[in-house]
Amino acid sequence: MPAPPFRLSVLDQSPVSEGSTGAQALRNTIDLAQLTDRLGYHRYWVAEHHGGPMLAGPSPEALIGPIAAATGRIRVGSGGVMLPHYSPLKVAETFSLLAGLFPGRIDLALGRAAGTDPLTTFALQRDRRQASPDDFPQQLEELLGYLNDRLPADHPFARLAATLPGRPERPEPWLLGSSPQSALWAAELGLPYAFADFINPKGAEIAALYRERFAEHEHADAKPRVAVGVWVICAESDDEARRLAASGRMTFTLLRRGKPIAVPPPEIAVEFLAADDRTPGQPRSERRAVVGSPETVRTELADVVAKYGAEEAIVVSITYAHEARRRSYELLAEAFGLEIQLALRPDTG
């Protein structure tokens, strides 16, 4: 089979299954990273979510090191760091350190969203006398100034850029988004752009806007790059894939209604969704899901990627059983002809 027409990567939200624990979900993350490294996926990103029972990944910066140490080839990074929670210098130092330890393998994808509810957002603040300012563009510019050592000479923190611990290595920065504003920022700053289709399935025009505006700015060696994040469940048959996908559909349905839960078994989810579909007046999801057999998924995922003109698909999958999630990524790799990689480990001697 010929090489896939675009790169395949992973976004792992570390889902917690009903009856299981967050600790087990984190061990599953390490296991899935090792599997997808062997299967030939390009990068492995871990998400940031806070204060809920469904996802066990509040600290991508804490997970990236163990994942990179347990794998040998795959790029590892954040998908993403929610910058409004943090000091730009602290983020720059942390990811510089990771880049120094794992040269050429660390990504720093950045987002503006809180990754949680308003109360938890407030609890995450160091200073709770008032709400934090909405100054994401300034935070982003300062962070990139540290990483690129391009803060103006008269900037009060200019000297700190030279103190980043991992130099000369540095992470590759990306901007995450699901709206036009993020596309404009990515274009202006010359950053690669990862669009969350699993949040907003109407992003093809936004990706086109990113490329158009990118061309209007002068960026020395940078070229526009688009990755699209897509929710995918692949199984041996379309029916089995739809059954497995019911677990994620139920969790997101209840999350939108302010009732977060751990990921339920498929049989419970199927019954819930059937009853819910018969209940008038309930809000319905417009989120896109690519669900089916390898043949179905190959066709539908390629169509999504083509609509975005993307160079890469970043696949997020949530199932109740970890083995079903592993199998979904295996079948996807087979469908697109990824090449199995040798088990390479970095030299720790």
User: 3-state SS string over 19-40?
Assistant: CCCHHHHHHHHHHHHHHHHHHC
Residue 47 forms part of a structural domain: yes
pLDDT of residue 129: 81
> Average pLDDT of the chain?
93
In-domain check, residue 345 = no
Backbone angles phi, psi at 50, to 5 degrees: -130, 145
Best CA proximity match to 43, nearest among 307, 231, 315, 299? 315
Q: What is the 3-state secondary structure (H, E, C) of 216-228?
A: HCCCCCCCCCEEE
What domain range is 253 assigned to? 7-335
Compute the distance between CA of residue 48 and CA of residue 33 in angstroms, rounded to an integer.
Answer: 16
Task: DSSP for 215-282, please give it.
Answer: HHS--SS----EEEEEEEEE-SSHHHHHHHHHHHHHHHHHHHTT---PBPPHHHHHHHHHHHHTSTT-
Domain count, the chain: 1
Which of 208, 197, 258, 201 is CA-nearest to residue 230?
197
- What CATH number corresponds to the domain at position 45? 3.20.20.30
Q: Is residue 2 domain-resident? A: no
Assigned domain for 55 exists: yes
Please indicate, yes or no, if residue 1 is contained in any of the structural domains. Answer: no
Residue 42 covered by a domain = yes
pLDDT the model gives residue 348: 38
- Give the highest mean pLDDT range of 31-45, 109-123, 211-225: 31-45
Is the pLDDT reported for residue 4 higher than 80? no
Residue 346 lies in a domain: no
What average pLDDT does this structure show over 17-23?
98
- pLDDT level of residue 30 (50, 70, 90 thresholds): very high
What is the sign, positive or negative, of the torsion defined by CA atoms of 44, 114, 85, 176? positive
How would you label 298-329 residue by residue, b for 16+ Cβ within 10 Å and e otherwise? bebbbebbebbebbbbbbbbbbbebebbbbbb
Residue 299 lies in a domain: yes
